[in-house]
Chain A
Amino acid sequence: MAELMYWEAIRRAHDEEMANDPLVICMGEDIGVAGGTYKATNGLYDKYGPERVIDTPISENGYTGLGIGAAFLGVRPIIEIMSVNFAWLAMDQLFNSAAKVRYMSGGQLQAPVVVRSPGGTAHQLGAQHSARMEKVFMSIAGLRVVTPSNPRQAYGLIKSAVRCNDPVFINEHELMYNMKGEVPDGEYFHPLEGSELAREGSDVTLFGYNISVHWCLQAADVLARQYGISAEVVDLFALAPLDRAGIAASVRKTHRAVIVEEAEPAAGVGAEVMAIINEECFFELDAAPVRVSAANVPMPYNHKLEKAAIPNAGDVVAAVRKMFGK
C-alpha cells in the first residue's frame, strides 16, 4: 500500500477514471493548464487534452449547469469548484437541476455529475473564503454528499461517485490536501453510504466527519491517556444519506454521544445526528448527547478570533469530561 497525499489520491482517481471512460471529463477554474489550485488535476490537461480537461470561465452556476446538461447525455463530469464559498453561486443548477431532474422527469433523466469542492476554515481567509456548507448540501433530496477524512477515502469516493448514477457532492477541506495516508495500490471503490469506525471504544462515541474526525482521534487519545475514558470514533464520511443504523449501533454500545462539526450548529450535522439518536435509540442513552460546533459568526480575519470560532480537539476533550463529570 502506497502512502499518498490527499491531493495525490484525488489526482490518481481522476486519472484512472478518465483513462477508464472517454466520457469522463473534468472542469473548473484553473484546473487545466495551471493544474488546479490544490494540484488535484495536475498533468491531466497534457494527458487528456482541452476537450476533457476544461479550464472554465469564473462562472460557477454556468459551468455547473453545463456539466449537468452534458451528464444528461451520459457524459460524466467531475466539476471542481475552487472553494465551497463559490459553490453558493452554483446552488441553483446543483439543487434545481441536478438533484431534482430524476424525480421531476418521472425517472427519465439523470444527472450523474460529481462536484468536488474544498470547504472549511484554513488560515485567515476571512468571512467569504471560510464557509462550511455541508449542512446546506445534505438537506437536498436527490443529492448525495460525501466528505473524505483521509487520502484513501478521497480516492475511493471519487471513483465510486464518478460511476454512480446520482449527482454527488464531495466536500473536501482546504487544510487536508497535504495530509498523507495509505491508499490501496489496486483500484478501490469506497462506498457512498455508511460510516467507518475510526477507533474502537466503549464509553462514549465521538462522531466526526472530514477534518473533525482528526480532532476526535486526538481527543480520544487524550481521554484514554489522561482520563481513562474509552472513546469510540465514528467517521461519517457520508452526510447524505447519513448512516442511521451505524449511528444507532455505536450509541447502543457506548450509550453516550458527542458530535463534532466544524460548522455553525444551527440545522447542521450535529443537530441531524442528535435527531437520529433520538429517533433510533433514545432509551439507550446514559447522558444527553452534546455537539461541539463552530461559533455562529462570519469567520473573522484575526487569527485569535478565527481560532476561537472553530472547535478543536481540546474542545472535544472538554465536552466529554463535562459529560463524565471529570
Chain B
Amino acid sequence: MNVADKKRLLREMLFARRFEERCYEAYVERKIGGFLHLYSGEEACVHGVLHAAKPGHDYVITSYRDHIHAIKCGADPRRVMAELYAKETGISRGRGGSMHIFDVANRFMGGYALVGGPFPLAAGIAKAIKMKGGDEIAICFLGDAANNQGTFHESLNMAKLWGLPVLYVCENNLYGIGTRIDRSTAVIDQYKRVSGYNIPSAQEDGQDIEKVFKAAKKAVDHVRSGKGPYFLELMTYRYRGHSMSDSNAYRSKKEERMWSERDPIIMLRDRLIEAGEMTKGDYKAMDTDVLDEIENEIIAFAEASPEPRVDELEKYVLAENDPWVYGGAR
C-alpha cells in the first residue's frame, strides 16, 4: 500500500463516514424512511478488503448494511442516496431502499435483509464463476451474528466440498442487533468456527486498514488461485445502533470510548501526518471537499429527483415479454 493509495483510501473512508452521518441527518429529517443501518466505525473493513481485490470485477454481496460496500464497488453515490430518498433515479429505482442497494453493472450483487441470506447466494455466484472459467472471485461480507444461521454452516460445507472461489468476510462488530456476542454465541472467535469445514481462516484487527489489506491480500490470493474458500474475520465496531430504531442503550460509554480511540479514519490520518505525508490542514481541506460533494452533488441530486410513477407499481415483478411464458410462441 503506497502513500497515494493510503491518501485515496483515507478520503474514501472519510467520504463513507460523512455519507453515513448525512444519512442519519436525513433520516431524522424524515427524508429517508424504513430501516437504516449505518456503517460508521467499520470503514476499514470494506475498504481494506476490496483494496486487495478487484472491485467492479469481483462479485460482492452483503447484508442490509450495504451503502458503503456498493459505493466501494463503483456505485454512483448520488444514486445510492437517491435510493435512500426512494427516488426513481435511485440505484434500485426506489424499489429497494437502504437494505437493498444493487449495482449489477459494477458486480455489486446486492444487500439482503435476512441475516445470513447471502451466504449461499455467494457460494452460488462462485459456482457460476467456476463454471464459466473466469478469474473473478465472490466476496461475501456479513456480520458476526449471521454465523448463527444455518446458512452459514450449509454454505461453508458446500463451498469447501466443491472448492468454490468465495471469500467470506466476517465483520465482527460484537453485537447481533442489541445482543452482545458472548450472550448469543458459544464460540467468540468466529474464525475458529470454520475449522470444522477445513476452510483456512484468519482473524485481524478491522480498525487498521493496513492490517486489513495485508490479511485480505492473503485471503484473496488464496481464493483467486483456485484453492477454494477462505474465511477472514475482522474485529470492528459500529458507532451507531444496529439501525435507526435502536436506542443503543446496551453498550457502555467506556466501551464506546475505547473503540472511538481506535477509529480507522483517525488512525490512518495520524499515521500519514506523522510520516509527513499530510498536514492537519490537508485533512481539513479533504473533509471540506467531502462535505461539499455530499451536500452539493449527492443530496442535491437526491432531493431534485422524481419519485417512481405509481402506474409502474407492478413493473419488475416478473420478466417482461418473456416468450417462454407462452411456450416460445410469441
Spell out A's residues near B (CB within 8 Å).
22-23, 25, 51, 54, 56-57, 59, 61-75, 92-93, 96-97, 101-110, 141-142, 144, 156, 160-161, 163-166, 188-193
Q: How far is the CB of A282 from chain B (nearest CB, A)?
A: 25
CB neighbours (8 Å) of A188 from chain B are 327
Whether B93 is near chain A, meaning CB under 8 Å from some CB there, is yes
Interface size class, chain B: 35 or more
CB neighbours (8 Å) of A74 from chain B are 128, 132
14 contacts between A and B (CB under 8 A): A56-B158, A65-B119, A66-B124, A69-B138, A72-B125, A73-B125, A103-B317, A104-B110, A105-B102, A105-B110, A109-B104, A164-B325, A165-B324, A166-B325
Expressed in whole angstroms, the Cα–Cα distance for A110 and B104 within the complex equals 11
Are B324 and A189 closer than 8 Å at their CB atoms?
Answer: yes
Q: How far is the CB of A160 from chain B (nearest CB, A)?
A: 5
Are B90 and A69 closer than 8 Å at their CB atoms?
Answer: no
Expressed in whole angstroms, the Cα–Cα distance for A110 and B324 within the complex equals 15
Expressed in whole angstroms, the Cα–Cα distance for A3 and B128 within the complex equals 36
Expressed in whole angstroms, the Cα–Cα distance for A151 and B94 within the complex equals 43
The stretch that binds A, out of B149-157, B253-261, B295-303, is B149-157
Given the known interface contacts A59-B154, A72-B125, A166-B318, the answer about A105 and B96 at a Cβ–Cβ threshold of 8 Å is yes
Whether B91 is near chain A, meaning CB under 8 Å from some CB there, is yes
Are B127 and A66 closer than 8 Å at their CB atoms?
Answer: yes
Expressed in whole angstroms, the Cα–Cα distance for A108 and B113 within the complex equals 18
Expressed in whole angstroms, the Cα–Cα distance for A92 and B325 within the complex equals 25
Sort A-B residue pairs by CB-CB distance and give the 10 closest, nearest first.
A69-B124, A62-B154, A65-B120, A106-B93, A73-B128, A69-B121, A59-B154, A105-B102, A165-B319, A70-B124
Whether B268 is near chain A, meaning CB under 8 Å from some CB there, is no
Whether B234 is near chain A, meaning CB under 8 Å from some CB there, is no
CB neighbours (8 Å) of B3 from chain A are none
Are B117 and A103 closer than 8 Å at their CB atoms?
Answer: no
Are A156 and B94 closer than 8 Å at their CB atoms?
Answer: no
Whether B267 is near chain A, meaning CB under 8 Å from some CB there, is no
Chain A minimum-CB-distance residue to B94: A106
Whether B315 is near chain A, meaning CB under 8 Å from some CB there, is yes
Are A109 and B322 closer than 8 Å at their CB atoms?
Answer: no
Expressed in whole angstroms, the Cα–Cα distance for A59 and B103 within the complex equals 29
Per-residue contact bits, chain B 85-103, to A (CB 8 Å; 1 contact, 0 not): 0000011111111001011
Q: How far is the CB of B159 from chain A (nearest CB, A)?
A: 9
Set A22, A96, A109, A160: member contacting B102, Cβ < 8 A = A109
Whether B114 is near chain A, meaning CB under 8 Å from some CB there, is yes
Are A164 and B319 closer than 8 Å at their CB atoms?
Answer: yes
CB neighbours (8 Å) of A163 from chain B are 324, 328
Chain A minimum-CB-distance residue to B110: A105
Q: How far is the CB of B210 from chain A (nearest CB, A)?
A: 32
CB neighbours (8 Å) of A141 from chain B are 317
Expressed in whole angstroms, the Cα–Cα distance for A104 and B34 within the complex equals 14
Whether B215 is near chain A, meaning CB under 8 Å from some CB there, is no
Chain A minimum-CB-distance residue to B59: A73
Expressed in whole angstroms, the Cα–Cα distance for A141 and B317 within the complex equals 7
Given the known interface contacts A61-B150, A156-B327, A166-B318, the answer about A106 and B127 at a Cβ–Cβ threshold of 8 Å is no
- CB interface residues, B 274-317, toward A, < 8 Å: 315-317
Expressed in whole angstroms, the Cα–Cα distance for A62 and B122 within the complex equals 11
CB neighbours (8 Å) of B102 from chain A are 104-106, 108-109
CB neighbours (8 Å) of A69 from chain B are 61, 120-128, 138
Expressed in whole angstroms, the Cα–Cα distance for A153 and B88 within the complex equals 41
Whether B161 is near chain A, meaning CB under 8 Å from some CB there, is yes
CB neighbours (8 Å) of A54 from chain B are 162
Set A63, A75, A190: member contacting B158, Cβ < 8 A = A63
Are A62 and B155 closer than 8 Å at their CB atoms?
Answer: yes
Expressed in whole angstroms, the Cα–Cα distance for A194 and B120 within the complex equals 34
Chain B minimum-CB-distance residue to A90: B120
Are A160 and B317 closer than 8 Å at their CB atoms?
Answer: no
Set A51, A72, A101, A160: member contacting B324, Cβ < 8 A = A160
Given the known interface contacts A64-B120, A73-B129, the answer about A165 and B157 at a Cβ–Cβ threshold of 8 Å is no
Are B318 and A144 closer than 8 Å at their CB atoms?
Answer: yes
Are B318 and A142 closer than 8 Å at their CB atoms?
Answer: yes
Q: How far is the CB of A161 from chain B (nearest CB, A)?
A: 8
CB neighbours (8 Å) of B114 from chain A are 92, 96
Set A62, A70, A106: member contacting B125, Cβ < 8 A = A70
Expressed in whole angstroms, the Cα–Cα distance for A106 and B111 within the complex equals 13
Set A23, A57, A192: member contacting B161, Cβ < 8 A = A57
